Amino acid sequence: MTLLDIFVGGIAGLIAGGINTLAGNGSALTLAVLMEFFGLPSNIANATNRIGVLAQTTASTYGFYRSKKLSIQGNQRLLICTILGSFLGIYLAVIISAEGFKTVYKYLLVLMLFILFIKPKRWINPSEDSEAKKLPLWLSTIFYILLGVYGGFIQMGMGIFALAIFVLIGKMNIIKANILKSFIIAVYTLIAVAIFAYKDLIHWPFGLALAFGQMIGGYYTAQFASRSPKASQIAYILLIICVIAAIVKVFNFI
């Protein structure tokens, strides 16, 4: 690795760490750097990207914990279902290509953008939404498992879809959803990294360069989100920006 590689990896990781902690889809940036700048094949890039994701989500979770915002009370089913689903996703990532999921991902982003503009208050303060109704237990369980499968298989977009499910189905505000999202991703990514490392799919120097930046970005963004009274509004706006940017990218509008 050259100094330029380290610098680019660190800066990309820093930006992605902040984006992932408050919204999601920072992996679109880190995967682009790994494949386009560092020249890694897509399967190696997908595995290598998990090093930075692990560093960022661990640092974010610790930042929320330090601020006494991390609590899993009442969300055990959500955590267990999502993490169990991620095991299947990790297995799929080892044995098959992610191209099929990427096609689905494009159209899920469009749906997500429409949902974001409908009743913004349920993202910022769902308790004010008097029409909010919880799904049947069996149906919400299926959603949590499928979310885990997606995250284990292809990390890109996981943060966005996790927020959608936790806010719209779990009836959380966007900051609490971000906290649980970071914790869940940290848990299953640790397992993913171990498996990908065993399969020799990780390029460690590039992964660690990204991880350093993502760890810093994740920790300090979590500190900001824990203390700022405007954090929910900022996270909501950033999420919209990230979804629009992702749509522009995947549909090649520019």
Q: How is the chain split into domains, by residue range?
A: 3-250
Q: Are 20 and 159 in contact (CB under 8 A)?
A: yes
pLDDT per residue over 200-231, tens digit each?
999 999 999 999 999 999 999 999 988 888 88
Q: Are 41 and 99 in contact (CB under 8 A)?
A: no
The mean-pLDDT minimum among 71-75, 130-134, 237-241 falls in 130-134
Q: Is the pLDDT of residue 60 over 90?
A: yes
Split at pLDDT 50, 70, 90, the class of 128 is: very low
For all residues of the chain together, what is the average pLDDT? 86
Amino acid at site 8: V
Q: Are 233 and 125 in contact (CB under 8 A)?
A: no
- pTM listed for this prediction: 0.83
Rounded mean pLDDT, 131-149: 84
Predicted pLDDT of residue 98: 61
Q: Is the pLDDT of residue 130 over 50?
A: no
For residue 47, count CB atoms less than 10 angstroms from its CB and return exposed for 0-12, middle for 13-18, buried for 19 or more: buried
pLDDT per residue over 156-180, tens digit each?
778 888 988 988 888 888 888 899 9
